[in-house]
């Protein structure tokens, strides 16, 4: 079967949610599809479930009746593995256990032709290790679909250590022919998405564990300031706390317990207590019939300051100056100062989160990073016990005058969005430097796989070459565990920029 041969039979082994979804994708793309499951009757039940979903596609005008009937005619449950002998592609979606997958593939290798492409949909195991059981691991590749497979466009095409380039190319082109958006990546723990997404959850949990903010407030800031579709707490409740924690733990262990991927103790306790999220009715939030979603912390309305003094252009937050003027607040510019902060009438300072803490300064309020300060509807502020009450009030009133809800959180370095984005950018640069994937494929994967508003490299270009490095360097000084230590790749990226600009 060639990469674009839509007549070639496709087999799917394992008929759970992912197996059914992959089978439906191949079926709608025009392939004869064979379904097999080791449990008697499950393949037939899966075929019936797929047929019912095809009916719903007709009802929604996404398929014609004739297309549905033709697809149904191409779908066939298999009684045993031998029925898959004529397949050009076999995708396994069975239990996430290395020994189970290896045994299955050894059996398949004795059944299918030598030119049959073998693939795994694993999300947590090593493609190299699975393929290591084969006589010819060169024809084995990872095809990691995202759930629900018929709806989500992304497919990570994972090359194991022994995967032939021709096999990876065939798999990539096949996914594209199925209407998906494939990205190529090397076999690394978590592949692209599950590797680079870890800080999105980890930093939210860290802020919570530091008692700086509650889940509802952190989620609201990530959505309304960071531009993320969902916050970390509500997203993990949707995914399942047990599933999300298991992926985090597997990536951490696969990286030899690298501190950058350390799981959250708070999430571990949640899993141990059986609070797995929506599916159990209780997670970070209560999903029972009488459960009420808690509201984020929102500061009471206060008067805005009459003016601010701009010392510098505020860097990534420079658009705030125009918004402040539009709100009728005078902006006085200190042309001799090249800083990146605002001075309030109280004499206190308002500064963009930079990885430092407010307690280090006499009178400062930090504000968080926003995807788009004009469109953001919420801003997080942090302060210390040394911050004047009037300074915090003026900072709060200023952002309220710009039409933003204000959430005042504890004095944590990097607040919420800034520390999260900085770590995501760092892991992305590190992945490229280590040959995991290209910048373009990483950006595509993070936008499509987890609905990020920007890919990490899009964030990096928008914020400036040294921004993420500077934030993480400051964070690392305050938490020298190694969790925030900037990667060598990010250091090189920032240093190259400074060198070109003439910095000694």
Whether 123 is catalytic: yes
Other residues' Cβ atoms within 10 Å of the Cβ of residue 361 = 16
Residue whose structure tokens are 């207590």: 273
CA dihedral 475, 481, 485, 488 (to 10 degrees): 170
Q: Which of these is catalytic: 31, 124, 144, 382?
A: 144
Nearest to 469 by CA among 434, 428, 500: 428
Whether 439 is catalytic: no
Q: What CA–CA distance (Å, rounded) separates 186 from 144? A: 12
CA 63 to chain centre: 31
> Is 460 strand, coil or helix?
helix
Whether 194 is catalytic: yes
Q: What CA–CA distance (Å, rounded) separates 33 from 46? A: 12
Q: What CA–CA distance (Å, rounded) separates 255 from 5? A: 38
CA 351 to chain centre: 28
Q: Which of these is catalytic: 92, 109, 156, 394?
A: 156
Q: What CA–CA distance (Å, rounded) separates 292 from 257? A: 37
Helices vs. strands in the chain: H and E counts, helices first: 19, 15
347: left (phi over 0), alpha (psi -120 to 50) or beta: left
Q: Which of these is catalytic: 124, 194, 407, 466?
A: 194
Q: What's the Cα-to-Cα distance from 219 to each of 109, 173, 213, 229, 354, rounded to whole Å?
A: 47, 38, 10, 10, 20
The answer to whether the CB of 90 falls within 8 A of the CB of 13 is: yes
Whether 295 is catalytic: no
Across 337-352, b (16+ Cβ under 10 Å) vs e yields eeebbbbbebebbbbb
Q: Which of these is catalytic: 31, 87, 121, 123?
A: 123
Q: Would you please indicate which residues are annotated as catalytic (active-site) residues?
A: 123, 144, 156, 194
């Amino acid at each position: 079967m060639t990469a674009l041969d839509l007549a070639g039979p496709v087999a799917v082994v394992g008929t759970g949610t992912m197996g059914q979804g992959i089978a439906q994708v191949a079926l709608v793309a025009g392939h004869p599809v064979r379904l097999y499951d080791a449990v008697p009757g499950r393949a037939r039940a899966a075929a019936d479930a797929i047929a019912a979903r095809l009916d719903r596609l007709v009802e929604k005008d996404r398929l014609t009746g004739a297309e549905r009937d033709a697809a149904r005619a191409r779908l066939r449950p298999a009684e045993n593995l031998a029925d898959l002998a004529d397949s050009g592609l076999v995708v396994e979606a069975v239990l996430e256990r290395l020994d189970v997958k290896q045994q299955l593939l050894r059996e398949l290798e004795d059944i299918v032709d030598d030119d049959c492409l073998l693939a795994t949909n694993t999300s947590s195991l090593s493609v190299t290790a699975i393929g290591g059981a084969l006589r010819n691991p060169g024809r084995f590749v990872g095809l990691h679909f995202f759930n629900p497979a018929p709806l989500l466009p992304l497919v990570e095409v994972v090359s194991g250590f022994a995967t032939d380039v021709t096999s990876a190319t065939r798999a990539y082109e096949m996914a594209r022919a199925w209407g998906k958006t494939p990205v190529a990546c090397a076999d690394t723990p978590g592949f692209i998405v599950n590797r680079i997404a870890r800080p999105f959850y980890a930093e939210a949990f860290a802020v919570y564990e530091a008692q700086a903010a509650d889940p509802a407030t952190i989620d609201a800031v990530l959505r309304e300031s960071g531009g993320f579709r969902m916050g970390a707490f509500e997203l993990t409740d949707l995914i399942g706390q047990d599933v999300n924690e298991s992926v985090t733990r597997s990536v951490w262990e696969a990286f030899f317990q690298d501190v950058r991927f350390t799981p959250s103790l708070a999430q571990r306790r949640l899993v141990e207590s059986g609070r797995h999220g929506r599916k159990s009715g209780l997670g970070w939030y209560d999903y029972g019939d009488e459960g009420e979603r808690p509201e984020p912390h929102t500061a009471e309305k206060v008067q805005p300051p009459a003016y601010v003094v701009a010392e510098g252009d505020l860097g990534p937050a420079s658009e705030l100056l125009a918004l402040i003027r539009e709100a009728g607040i005078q902006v006085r510019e200190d042309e001799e100062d090249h800083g990146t902060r605002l001075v309030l009438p109280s004499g206190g300072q308002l500064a963009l989160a930079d990885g430092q803490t407010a307690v280090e300064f006499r009178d400062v309020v930090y504000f968080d990073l926003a995807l788009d300060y004009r469109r953001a509807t919420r801003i997080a502020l942090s302060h210390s016990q040394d911050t004047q009450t009037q300074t915090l009030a003026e900072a709060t009133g200023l952002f309220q005058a710009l039409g933003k809800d204000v959430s005042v959180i504890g004095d944590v370095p990097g607040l919420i969005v800034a520390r999260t984005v900085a770590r995501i950018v760092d892991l992305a640069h590190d992945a490229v430097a280590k040959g995991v994937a290209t910048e373009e494929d990483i950006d595509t994967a993070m936008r499509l796989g987890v609905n990020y508003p920007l890919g990490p490299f899009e964030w990096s270009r928008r914020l400036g070459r040294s921004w993420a490095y500077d934030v993480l360097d400051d964070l690392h000084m305050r938490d020298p565990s190694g969790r925030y230590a900037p990667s060598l790749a990010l250091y090189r990226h920032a240093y190259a920029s400074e060198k070109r600009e003439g910095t000694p």
